[in-house]
Chain A
Amino acid sequence: MTPGFGFLHLSFAWLFAAPSASAKTLSPHPVDFAIIAIYFAMVIGIGLYLKKYTKSGKDFFLAGREMTAWVAGLSFVSANLGALELMGWAGSAYQYGILAAHWYWMGAIPAMLFLAIVMMPFYYISKTHSVPGYLHLRYGQATGGLSAVCFAIMTLLMSGVDMFAMALVLKVMLGWNLNFSIWVSSITVGIYVTLGGLFSAIFNEVVQFFLIWFGALLIPILGLVEAGGWTGLVARIHRNFPQQDFTHLWRGLGHFSDNPMGIHWTGIVFGLGMTLSFGYWTTDFLVIQRVIAAKDIRAAKMAPVIGSFFKMAVPFIVILPGLLALAVLPYHLVPQSAIGSAPGLHSYNEVLPLMLARYCGPGLLGLGVTALIAGFMSGMAGNVSAFSTVWTYDLYRAFIRKGASDSHYLSMGRWCTMTGVVLSIGAAYLVMQFASIMDYVQALFSFFIAPLFGTVLLGMLWKRITGWGAFWGLLAGTVSSVSMFTLVKLNPRALAYVALSAHARAMAENMYRALWSWIICVIVTVVVSYVTRPQPVESLKGLVYGQTELPSEGHLALWQRPIFWAGVALLVFLFLQWVFW
């Protein structure tokens, strides 16, 4: 899903309560529109060019399995760099300060490195095409099918939600018509993914990665110049908000009430760092698909490691603008609830467009808006390409038509891509009619992530886990997550039990709910596995630790080994925690 698990905090209420087009945040110049138009022409051109290289199912669904580590790594990060993520976390940085960076560091780096070193060999050696495909191989049809159905439905719904939210963002920022934004952007994505499949999606994601960086990087650069560097930034924030600590990562996490996020360090470490982020980065097929397309196992292991370095740098273009807004804006941004009563104010979520308008004139503004559109389109392309693969291989071929020719599945993949786009548009209009669906759809996705991580991890590391154990564990974890969510909705006092404190905020609740559902999944999986018949060892070859021959890297120089660079990434990660402690 485009915005990863981090979107959960982003309220869409501000979008629905957005001012009319006449009060739009940005005032683009014709040159800005030219830059946006060139971008659309380029992505379609790439799709047209790649069509002639997309001749088989392997090309369409796995990009020929010939991506280098750099291409797979940048695509891996880009598929997660959605426009809503950029805007939402910039807003969170204004609201919570540098604590928001936990979602890029603690909430990503350990999991990405774990994926690279521990889990990637199993995904790659099993030669699966998808995460549900791995579950199918490891546990059989029931678990693989359950996972595939959940993923397919959630992908389409999320794609629709993203599409509608992005159209609203464009309306707020540029005054664009909702229908125009939805149809033009989704048809463009549909064309280039249908033409070139995963090849096209990955190529465009790498292009989009560059555009996102070059479009957004000027804000922190010029912002730091205006604020007087990092020291000046901190001094200004302390002057503007003397009662609050916005510039320390860990210092205020000793108690729920000591930090603006209302979260305890255990929630960050165990809920975010060890459960939710591992669930997202190691099992969400949207991102895993990019790495599976790598040309060999070393490239597949290096791709998330390369991605982790860029992920660590993303706060520079997302969190820093939020902090800069705290320092340099002459007015205070407010929660959405305050907007209705006093028109003319701006909400937290408008930080990025406001900072863009502050520093970027014609041309640069177009580049910044293109960065946001590119972020949206890379996410949507990720959704439809992943949906098309899961539908074609994990549902259509597994349950409806086995044994057809490769060209048949290729054709099905292309039709499925177009169908996925149309269904996403339908979901977008559904959301337009029933606004509250948005938040529920996003919550639904979070229900599934943490238990799925338990199921996949146990399956990779422990041969005793059985298919029925996995099925019931996954089901129990997901149902328990839904139950906790419903319980807190019906009775807010239950929050004190789910999140361990009545002071906990929504984000803390998400972290602890993920942790409990993961624990429940693991316990049920293990218990049911022990009361069911073990799977034959020979059926687990290439799928489980101890039954899989992992290629040696002994012949490689130290600097060529993924484990070396993972160690370097870990050191950089620890260094950042120390610097901003």
Chain B
Amino acid sequence: MDQKSEMNKKRGGGGSGRQIAVDLIDEKPSKRHMLPVWFFIGLILLTYGVIIFVTGIYEISHPPSTILSNLHAPIWWGGLLGIIGAVYILKYRPHGQ
């Protein structure tokens, strides 16, 4: 904390409030090998896409009582989700070190 207090003074801070800010900036950004959020998005979109697509195939023979069910939205919507999810997974999948 002494070093940080010194830093506060150098930055021109005088009040007690100045100390609060400095504590959070002194650390150097760390290098991490974290999976990007886009990979998780790909994972859940692909999962949902497959489920909805398969449901849509089933609904061809058992159509639901919704409006415009003849458009088979689950098939193309599920397909779209699955494709986007697969692209995200491939693009952001973890690589070996």
Contacts and interface: CB of A to CB of B under 8 A. Distances in A.
A463 B88 CA distance: 48
Contacts of A56: 27
B14 A539 contact: yes
Contact of B21 (A71, A126, A218, A357): A126
Interface in A124-173: 126-129, 133, 136-138, 140-141, 144
A137 B43 CA distance: 42
A462 interface: no
Given A62-B24, A361-B69, A363-B51, A136 B17 contact: yes
A75 to B, nearest CB: 9
A211 B73 contact: no
Given A129-B20, A397-B20, A71 B37 contact: yes
Contact of A137 (B21, B55, B69): B21
Contacts of A31: 51, 55
Contacts of B41: 206-207, 210
Contacts of B71: 222, 225
Interface string A24-55: 00000001001100110010001001100100
Given A35-B48, A214-B45, A367-B48, A222 B29 contact: no
Interface string A200-237: 00110011001100100010001001100000000000
Interface string B51-84: 1100110010000111111010110011001000
B45 to A, nearest CB: 7
Contacts of A53: 32, 34
Nearest to B5: A403
Contacts of B68: 222, 225-226, 359
B12 interface: yes
Nearest to B68: A222
B97 interface: no
B72 to A, nearest CB: 10
Given A363-B55, A363-B78, A538-B12, A127 B24 contact: yes
A127 B21 contact: yes
Given A49-B35, A225-B71, A226-B67, A363 B52 contact: yes
Contact of B12 (A42, A57, A403, A539): A539
A358 B77 contact: no
B49 to A, nearest CB: 9
Interface of B, secondary structure class, is helix
Given A35-B51, A144-B17, A207-B41, A359 B35 contact: no
B91 to A, nearest CB: 14
A38 B81 CA distance: 15
B73 A359 contact: yes
Contacts of B11: 541-542
Contacts of B90: none
A505 interface: no
Given A136-B17, A359-B73, A364-B77, 15 more contacts: A42-B40, A53-B32, A64-B30, A65-B29, A129-B24, A137-B13, A207-B44, A210-B41, A214-B45, A357-B66, A360-B73, A361-B66, A363-B78, A364-B73, A541-B11
Interface of A: 31, 34-35, 38-39, 42, 46, 49-50, 53, 56-58, 61-62, 64-66, 71, 126-129, 133, 136-138, 140-141, 144, 202-203, 206-207, 210-211, 214, 218, 222, 225-226, 295, 357-364, 367, 393-394, 397-398, 402-403, 406, 536, 538-539, 541-542
Interface of B: 1, 11-25, 27, 29-30, 32, 34-35, 37, 40-41, 43-45, 47-48, 51-52, 55-56, 59, 64-69, 71, 73-74, 77-78, 81
